[in-house]
Structure 1
């Protein structure tokens, strides 16, 4: 079976077959990354379909845009693992695949002889990636929802207004991070298999990915003994870094070093602030961030945010207006990132794969599939001798 990303230069994973038994977001995001890179991804769903097919609104032509966001370049078949014939088909797929991705509850595949131990014995060539919410030991019974990981990891406790309750991120961020970790783990296991000829089990979970993804915030606690607190849009280690009031709307300024700060205050006509003992270095700016904010906003309110962005960017000062999602997509297009890529003959608008390859370009040859759309071609391939 060939992948659906065949171009004059095939994708970097051309020839790799992925049996995708995952649902919702983390797993499908990972397998879409692999499909974009040229792997043949066979999406296996229950007869009822991936849950996200029903996560509506919003929709495009009655299809959930949530489902569309993570399922392009895949072939689809519906299998009921409780049915003997369908279960046999699932095992035929594992026998021919290179990678097996699933996010069943720990132990949920044992009755189908698709658990890690059985897979390792029956299909030693297979890279088996399992995605769980909270691992397979003490947290095995906990449901794997991104919101729970945001709450349990501490993300919600450091997000939002200090005077209000903790706030979740505006997207299922740890599902995405876990999906990326799964992709990295799979690629590493495939590379090792190329040396040893043997597959292995790759395990990722939302909680571990969340703690890793919190980077400097978790490091503050484990390495420095500091428990981070909610700071709104301020940064715990940098100032000025966040939104500042211009004459019409907030302006994002992200100063990462003292040279940038000096250029900023020069542009604002306040060069003396760079030599002020309260602001001369980043550590002291953090100690006096409220006074500094007042000094900066007094001057920023002389112009609009867009005026300042145009002026400050010319000076190499990191800044931005605060955009809506629509404006963000439009901005990416304006700067040549071509963020929207139509997928398949249906030309379903999808967001571009985030990696560009110089010799093995990503293709968008197949739209997110309808339920069971490719059943016959998949069965024909499984029953062939090749």
Structure 2
């Protein structure tokens, strides 16, 4: 038995943030019914063609869900949604606040259908405020929250290579839903959860914000190196790069021994963490590992207890020796094939993870409607009306 067995989540979702939250709930056993537009569905289905009929984003965030197609502007479809919501425990939505009100799927409208619902509303910037009606996508939120300005090297800024604002929001929404379900089990009361992409991202920017407030300036952009620790970053080898993470002076001394340069350990410019940071331009040329292969250097650093890692390509991740040794890969069916995915990172002795397939658009529409008591004739009529 999984912890969310018997919990029904209805999600009016698209893109990444809320779909990721509901994917995490599905991993814990919730039945997730994803409501999609009949004319193409969630637009994230078509971001790329890396996974055949669906995009890599969609395949990642929609494992184990059911797809129900409804045209929420059609009165008959609204009746279907109301009947579905009446059976649900959780309803999540990341339509814009204005669109949610127009379609009567905002929290106040949904609560008239079922008062004890757990309702989660994700917006771009939150309401009220001068940004409440602005479009918000991951890269825009990264920029507004200061992450783009903080990331890069020298005068060059960079967007983080993954959708960190969406992921931050999805993880925090999932956590809040779990807390709200626990609250309901104790009190019988539902809850309305409101979250914005922007505030989810600003929470992750807390430490850089505190650093800037305490020092009077943002940390400098240092590429893959650390702004306040050195040596901490990638250094070239004969066949690639090794990422060092030397965080204290004993580790620094041991690194100098591996390098065959014990004199560096006592150089006044490099004796402490702060002095190494201050003299980083002079420090890096002294750390020459180009005669080493990355494998030999990692072995030597491991033996000397100096923290380091290989700098690998994400394309190599499915063959990473640690993942393969721990059997962290699984196969998940797609509408037109299958993909190899990573298992969730948390293992439990109380339940197992058994992934469901990624759904085709509208794959479960008839099944869901039958479960709500609709006859085959009525379903056919709804389809003829383009309500489903």
Q: Distance in 2 between matches of 1:226 and 1:358?
A: 46
Q: Distance in 1 between matches of 2:35 and 2:323?
A: 38
Measure how far apart 1:25 and its partner are.
Answer: 0.5
Q: Does 1:193 align with 2:191?
A: no
Residue correspondence of structure 1 range 115-264 to structure 2 within 5 A: 115-138=106-129, 139-164=131-156, 166-264=157-255
* Correspondence for 1:317: 306
TM-score normalised per structure 2: 0.89
Q: Distance in 2 between matches of 1:320 and 1:13?
A: 37
* Correspondence for 1:369: 359
Tell me the secondary structure at the aligned position of residue 87 of structure 1. Answer: helix
Asked if the contact 1:19/1:97 (under 8 Å) is kept, the reply is yes
The answer to which of 332-341 and 239-248 deviates more is 332-341
Measure how far apart 1:223 and its partner are.
Answer: 4.5
Asked if the contact 1:234/1:241 (under 8 Å) is kept, the reply is yes
Asked if the contact 1:348/1:367 (under 8 Å) is kept, the reply is no
Q: Distance in 1 between matches of 2:272 and 2:250?
A: 10
Tell me the secondary structure at the aligned position of residue 109 of structure 1. Answer: helix
The answer to which of 216-225 and 350-359 deviates more is 216-225
Asked if the contact 1:157/1:167 (under 8 Å) is kept, the reply is yes
| CA deviation map 1:220-272 (0-9, x unaligned) | 12444332332222212211111112234322111222232222222222233
* Correspondence for 2:318: 329
Runs of at least 5 residues in structure 1 that lack an aligned partner in the other structure:
1-9
Q: Distance in 2 between matches of 1:265 and 1:15?
A: 58
| Match of residue 283, structure 2, among 289, 292, 296 | 292
Q: Distance in 1 between matches of 2:207 and 2:227?
A: 9
* Correspondence for 1:266: 257
The answer to which of 134-143 and 30-39 deviates more is 134-143
Structure 1: 4+ residue segments shifted above 6 A: none
Asked if the contact 1:157/1:229 (under 8 Å) is kept, the reply is no
Q: Distance in 1 between matches of 2:232 and 2:50?
A: 34
Q: Return closer, same or farther for 1:33/1:287 CA change in 2, 3 Å cut-off.
A: same
The answer to which of 366-375 and 283-292 deviates more is 283-292
Tell me the secondary structure at the aligned position of residue 198 of structure 1. Answer: coil
| CA deviation map 1:187-211 (0-9, x unaligned) | 1111211211111111111111111
Asked if the contact 2:18/2:93 (under 8 Å) is kept, the reply is yes
TM-score normalised per structure 1: 0.90
| Match of residue 379, structure 1, among 366, 369, 375 | 369
* Correspondence for 2:295: 306
Q: Return closer, same or farther for 1:292/1:120 CA change in 2, 3 Å cut-off.
A: same
